[in-house]
């Protein structure tokens, strides 16, 4: 697909398809119109590694609670984390909140419209900056995500992926060439429409498995289809092997209340509340050996005998975590300042917690509710 008329015809066909077949999503504007850039920022933060169907409800609740960037900047981070529960990858929520504060403090409450300034915001990378600039402001900026990589790889029969610098440059250059070309003489569409059309094609038609080539509006210009290589492209990524770890949850009970504590600012589930949890290497079978000593070291409390209440597995991008829920009554000691606080199970439910910690609470509620 080297000729300019081929590119023009492809763009016209894809944009016409997008105008008719694109999904109605609450953060989108009609083709040819620009949405609120703040809505683009929020939606893109939520959509990272999360399915669209899951995000819709969260986005609507988020925008109802904080309809402007000023509203978000003024709220407490724990409120944002609490609303985010269930979406996972909580660092996105923390970055989004901090980005709002930077926008208010340094940009007068208005999102910057250039990629260079957007990239300086917490949590905003090249993809999100391109999305905000093109979709929210109509700038001719490219963006590359998994859907875009797949579509471009098949259109142009591009080898490799974006796992290395050369591959990343190859796909970003291809995306830039397409978004820089004059869209349509009628000027009904913006660069943001084009970027969304490519992503929509990848999500609905040019899928990783069983792509619907017969329904593709631009199959005529697809090099992979002509070469019979649709199933080969893009080149599969080498997946990182997951690391197995154990999280031993010490569910400490005193007078019908349970000890919870807040995680630090770094690492997995930063800033969220949890039952006291120790991470250690995987063992062949569950064991509470050393857990009482760990509890005393962390909290100053003397725990009684530990009883295993249940276990479950939780998967993250790079980890397979076995959660062991060990229940014990507190028999002595004094809670060290800053080591946590006591609350009922009903009160704990209202705290911002990760999904596995909420699963642990549910298990405790089934066995020990008073």
The distance in angstroms from the start CA to the end CA of the chain is: 69
Tokens representing residue 276 in the block: 């006291």
Judge contact between 267 and 252, C-beta under 8 A: no
Nearest to 43 by CA among 171, 136, 137: 136
Compute φ and ψ for 119, nearest 5 degrees: -65, -15
Residue 44 bears catalytic tag: yes
Of 44, 141, 274, 324, the active-site residue reads 44
Cβ contacts of 177 within 8 Å, gap of 6 or more? none
Q: Where are the alpha helices (DSSP H) in 125-182?
A: 126-131, 137, 146-156, 165-180
Place of tokens 């209202």: 350
Nearest to 193 by CA among 21, 19, 38, 5: 19
Q: In 10 A of CB 36, how many CB atoms?
A: 17
Q: How far apart are CA 364 and CA 128, in angstroms?
A: 40
**Residues across the chain:** 370
Q: Give how far the C-alpha of residue 181 lies from the chain's centroid of Cα atoms, to the nearest Å.
A: 31
Q: How far apart are CA 278 and CA 265, in angstroms?
A: 17
Q: How far apart are CA 75 and CA 55, in angstroms?
A: 21
What are the angstrom distances between the C-alpha of 189 and each of 130, 195, 217, 369?
A: 17, 11, 17, 57
Active site positions, annotated: 44
């Amino acid at each position: 697909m080297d000729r300019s008329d081929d590119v023009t015809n492809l763009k016209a066909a894809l944009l016409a398809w997008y105008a008719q077949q694109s999904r109605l999503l609450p953060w989108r504007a009609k083709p040819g119109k620009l949405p609120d850039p703040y809505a683009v920022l929020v939606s893109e933060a939520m959509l990272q590694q999360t399915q669209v169907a899951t995000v819709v409800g969260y986005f609507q609740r988020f925008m109802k609670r904080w309809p402007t960037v000023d509203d978000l900047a003024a709220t407490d981070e724990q409120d944002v984390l609490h609303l985010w529960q269930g979406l996972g990858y909580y660092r996105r929520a923390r970055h989004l909140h901090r980005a709002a504060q930077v926008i208010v403090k340094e940009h007068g409450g208005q999102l910057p419209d250039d990629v260079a300034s957007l990239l300086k915001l917490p949590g905003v990378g090249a993809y999100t900056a391109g999305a905000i600039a093109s979709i929210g402001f109509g700038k001719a900026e490219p963006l590359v995500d998994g859907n875009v990589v797949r579509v471009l790889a098949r259109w142009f029969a591009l080898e490799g992926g974006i796992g290395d610098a050369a591959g990343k440059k190859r796909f970003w250059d291809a995306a830039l060439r397409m978004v820089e070309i004059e869209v349509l003489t009628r000027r009904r569409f913006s660069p943001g429409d084009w970027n969304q059309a490519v992503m929509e094609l990848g999500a609905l038609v040019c899928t990783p498995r069983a792509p619907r080539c017969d329904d593709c509006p631009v199959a005529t210009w697809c090099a992979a289809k002509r070469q019979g290589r649709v199933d080969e492209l893009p080149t599969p990524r080498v997946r990182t092997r997951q690391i197995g770890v154990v999280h031993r949850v010490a569910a400490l009970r005193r007078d019908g209340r349970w000890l919870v504590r807040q995680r630090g600012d770094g690492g997995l589930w930063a800033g969220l509340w949890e039952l006291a949890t120790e991470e250690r290497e995987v063992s062949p079978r569950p064991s509470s050996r050393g857990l009482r000593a760990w509890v005393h070291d962390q909290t100053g409390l003397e725990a009684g005998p530990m009883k295993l209440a249940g276990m479950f597995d939780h998967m993250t991008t790079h980890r397979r975590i076995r959660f062991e829920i060990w229940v014990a009554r507190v028999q002595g000691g004094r809670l060290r300042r800053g080591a946590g606080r006591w609350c009922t199970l009903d009160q704990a439910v209202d705290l911002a917690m990760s999904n596995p910690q909420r699963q642990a609470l549910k298990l405790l509620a089934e066995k020990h509710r008073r």
